[in-house]
Amino acid sequence: MKKRILVLLVFSFSVVYSSTGVLNFNAEYSSGLVKIEWQTSVETNVKEFIVEKSSNNITFNKLTSETPKGSSSAYTVFDMSPHSKDTLLYYRVIVLDYDGSQHVSETVSVSISTAGISATWGSIKAMFR
């Protein structure tokens, strides 16, 4: 009886801590793209990290995915085409485990704004293409 309880406790402990949490999740807009960064602690049983993007904080679509690098890793991905100027975008990371379970990070928002002069210059260049 004692052996069964011990085995059950060890198994439960490993299941609870078999995945990872997303730490220091951040997104920042600069020079026409969004830089998305996060860190992890333990990456046991993690199949992939899926970065999602939304314009309304309700419906998210896959932006990209990253293969786990191993415990205590840092990740950086870029959204090369944040849409339209003067908008608010939302990003989150889904941690997908091999057993099919998913863990959703916090959602971060990024304000996309284009300076008036760069918007005008872009319009002028577009006329001559």
14-46 pLDDT per residue, tens: 333 445 688 999 999 988 899 999 999 889 899
Which residues form the domain of 105? 20-115
- For residue 76, being part of any structural domain is answered with yes
CB crowding 16-52: b at 16 or more within 10 Å, else e: eebbbebeebebebeeeebebebebeebebbbebbbb
- For residue 2, being part of any structural domain is answered with no
- For residue 9, being part of any structural domain is answered with no
Q: How many Cα atoms within 13 Å fall on the side-chain side of residue 50?
A: 14
- For residue 121, being part of any structural domain is answered with no
So what's the pLDDT on residue 126? 60
Which pLDDT tens digit goes with each residue over 60-73? Answer: 999 999 999 988 89
- For residue 62, being part of any structural domain is answered with yes
- For residue 126, being part of any structural domain is answered with no
pLDDT band at residue 90 using 50, 70 and 90 as cut-offs: very high
Kindly report the CATH number assigned to the domain that includes residue 42: 2.60.40.10
The tally of domains found in the chain comes to: 1
Q: How far apart are CA 104 and CA 102, in angstroms?
A: 7
So what's the pLDDT on residue 5? 41
pLDDT band at residue 86 using 50, 70 and 90 as cut-offs: low
Q: How far apart are CA 48 and CA 97, in angstroms?
A: 7
- For residue 35, being part of any structural domain is answered with yes
For residue 15, CA distances in Å to 9, 19, 91, 118 come to: 10, 8, 27, 52
So what's the pLDDT on residue 114? 65
- Mean pLDDT is lowest, of 4-8, 40-44, 48-52, 61-65, for 4-8
So what's the pLDDT on residue 123? 57
Stated pTM of the model:
0.73
The pLDDT of residue 84 is above 50: yes
- For residue 120, being part of any structural domain is answered with no
